[in-house]
Structure formats: structure tokens, C-alpha cells
Structure 1
């Protein structure tokens, strides 16, 4: 199996980043580097991440002086030394076999870019319903109008460079724009896998309100194109801290 560069973007995630880094340290596939790109956090996110240098020998922690989701992902991709890329959010959880199973599917299906479904194990029924509907939408649209969850996207340096990376002018659905542009040249599909996703977004915004927001955003994208003028405001790290 080929090595992989894992880019993790953070902003004030001192209570969650350690969980993801611990998950990565326990992966059955260990040929990877981890690049934590921090958007100038106000808390101890950087220090917590740096404490994993022993558990993750190939770990780089880069602190930016500006904030931005797409900026962070692009910065990490530029620092990556391996061809295969995996973009993760700091509140993601992975099973030990995640990388092994993902790389097997990527190689077998010959995919340059791919998404992963959201898992709802151990979450309340309402969250399971919300994630299930969202995943159904992801499955359907992958064939005609690719969308994805930016918290977990596989790509490659070749794809990333040729499409110009994530559009830093887009604040909502920048992940969907990325896979849509990639899908014009390379076949995009979802892997038969799930990743753990912190439900704090659903807890704060509400399952159906959040679903309606993304439905509205993607309908608008379908008819009018990407939103580069803050048509639907969506702030990075606008969620209140909810320890789980």
C-alpha cells in the first residue's frame, strides 16, 4: 500500500484534536504523515497536537497567521510529501482499520478522489436519521452532481494541483465545489466506509435546520453556481464548545 499525507485543519480544537491523533496512532496502516494546519487558534490546540510527536513520528504542526478552511487545506496539501492526500477535520473519529480499508478501495476502484459517508454509531436516533438522509443525498448526487463532506475527503496532489485546490473565496460548500471540479476529469465515488463525526453541529443548529441549510445551498449551487459573495454566511468554528 502506498503512503498517504493526512491534512488536519484546526481552530480552537484542544479538546478534540487529541482523539483524532490517538485514532491515527492506532491505524493498522502506518505509512503516513500527519500535517496539522492550525488557523491561529486562541487555545492550546497547537501544544496538544505537538505532544503527539512520539506517537506520530511523522507529524508536522503548522500554525497559520490567518484563518480559513480552504486556506488550511491548501496549505497542508502544499506541505505534503506523498501523492495520496486525505483531508480531515479535527473532530473526526476513525476506526483502526480505516486507512487500510480506504486505501484498498481506492486502489481497487482506481479512484483519485473520493468521499466517505458519515457514521452515526452510538448517537441518538434523531442524529442517525439525519445522517442517514444526508448520506442518501451524497450517494445519489455522486453520479451526476458530486457533493461531499469536507471533514473526510481523499484526493491526490495531482488532482489538487490541476484543479487549483480548494477555492478560498467560498465559505459554504467549498468541499462540494472541490469534488465537483475534480469529478469533471476524474471519476468521483464514495467509499463503502464511514467516519465518526462530532454531532455538535446538529446539537447546536438542529438536525432539520442544518439539513435544510445544506439542501438550500446545494439547490442554489445547482442553478446559480458557487457562492463566492457570502450569499449564505457560514463561519469557521461558530459552534459552541460541547465536551463529549
Structure 2
């Protein structure tokens, strides 16, 4: 099959929400993703102050205190806070494309405190699976929103797929090629000939032609 080269398109602007507390405290996101949103919901009972911190470089101060909610808008991030009868929901949105792993903290005094490690990865562009052929990228690495065309090598079956690197740093739709299997079938043709006219001069016996067996090999490639 012929491999077609497809370049990288612009990044998607879909907001991907990470909720704290996060299971396992580790999250993978695609390299270069922007508008990355982290969310948390807490009860303000017994809480005096809460704030966001990430990367060891930004301390957004408090989004909640005894005076209520506080919103913040900066060049690289925004913070929102909504208080609904003592239940506060806050969002930290990282506006710029992200290329460096981050540790994000939401800290309240005296509690709770939540943390998540965000690891940024490119979508795989090497040998993804046997028989799968992928186009080269015009830029490398292939991060969020990057597209590529996948096709199957000779001996494999599957559809050609135009896939996009999604927010989890995986290809969507997922390309897949299946290994074909060579199957041999044998057909035997029994060709019996008779000639009721031809006779031996001293015999009434009918001359019967000899049997001819023809073996035909048929090769078919059948998808597993």
C-alpha cells in the first residue's frame, strides 16, 4: 500500500478537565496542549483559605477565604471560584501550550490538600504495531492536534485511517492492521470420458477413457 504524508494541523482548543483529587495522582496529557483545566470541589466547613500552586513557579494566592470567592485572570492562567451554599468549585486553567511536566497543588488550610502530577507526551510515531505504516510528520514531536495517515503493509489487512493525537496522547481513531493468513484449498476434478462408438473388432466391450485427476491450488488471503 502507498503511504501518504499528512502534515500537522493547528492545535485543538477543547478544554480538557482534570478533577482533583485525581486517582493515582498521575495524569498523562498530550504535549503542547493549551487551555488545560484543573478542577476541584470542596466544602468550606472549617476551611479558612484555599489556593492553587503549580510548577513551583506560580502561586495564585487564595481563590477562597473568609471573605468569599476570588477570581483571577493572568496571561498564562485563569482561576474561577463559585460558592454554592458552602460548596466551592474552583477551576485553574493553563492558557498556554504545555511542554514541561507539572505538579499542580490545591491547598486549603487546615485541609484538604490535593496534588496531581501531569506528564506531557507526544503521540507515538515509531513502531506502533506490526504491519502498521505511518506517515512522517512535518514537525516533531507530534503533539496535541497533530494528524497522520495510517495504512497497512503488504500481508496485513485493515482500513486506511486519518488519526488525530488526542488529549491523552493517543491516536484517535486508533489505527489497526491484522495479519493475513495464507490458506490452501485443493479441488479435484474427476473427468471420465466414454466413447460408445469405438469398439474393438473382436469385442463388444465399450472403450472407456481413462480418468484424469486435475489438482488446482487456490491461494486466498483471509483476514484473521
TM-score by length of 1: 0.19
More strand by share: 2
Larger radius of gyration: 2
Structure (1 or 2) with the greater helix fraction: 1
Q: TM-score, normalised by structure 2?
A: 0.20
